Amino acid sequence: MGKTSKDKRDIYYRMAKEEGWRARSAFKLIHLDENFNIFEGVTRAVDLCAAPGSWSQVLSKKLYESRDKDKDDVKIIAVDLQAMAPLPGVTQLQGDITKLSTAQAIIEHFGNDQRAQLVICDGAPDVTGLHDIDEYIQSQLLLA
């Protein structure tokens, strides 16, 4: 997370720091779950565009917390172009989500007989300032 004076005034920035989340975006996913119970019954999840990892942190906490006995059933994979610091219970895959090889690696992680029950993504491409290029890159991210 950045350290500008604006960030320090942001309540979610401060709360994220205090509660140990890697980024304030963790609260977006927490609020989605509070409103829609998106984690209910989920044991296999994928976090696309995962760095810096706050959504993967939330997944790990929520999915493992809800499984009293069968923690071995939980599988979480975090995918990003950038490497990120390890997280307990999360398998990391450094790759481009627009590439078939990355999709195949995700599928292999779960095995032939299982699929992800939840896919989350909080990614956005870097903006170039050239509208046509930015639109194309965003569309490729959405298609992935």
Here the CATH number for the domain that contains residue 105 is 3.40.50.150
pTM of the model: 0.86
Whether residue 117 is contained in a domain is answered as: yes
Whether residue 56 is contained in a domain is answered as: yes
pLDDT in tens, the chain (144 residues): 555 555 567 898 999 999 999 999 999 999 999 999 999 999 999 999 999 999 999 999 999 987 766 778 899 999 999 999 999 999 999 999 999 999 999 999 998 789 999 999 998 888 899 999 989 988 888 887
Whether residue 43 is contained in a domain is answered as: yes
How many domains, the chain? 1
Whether residue 9 is contained in a domain is answered as: no
For 84, residues 6+ apart whose C-beta sits below 8 A from its C-beta are: 50, 51, 52, 53, 56, 78, 92
105 lies in which domain range?
Answer: 39-143
Whether residue 120 is contained in a domain is answered as: yes
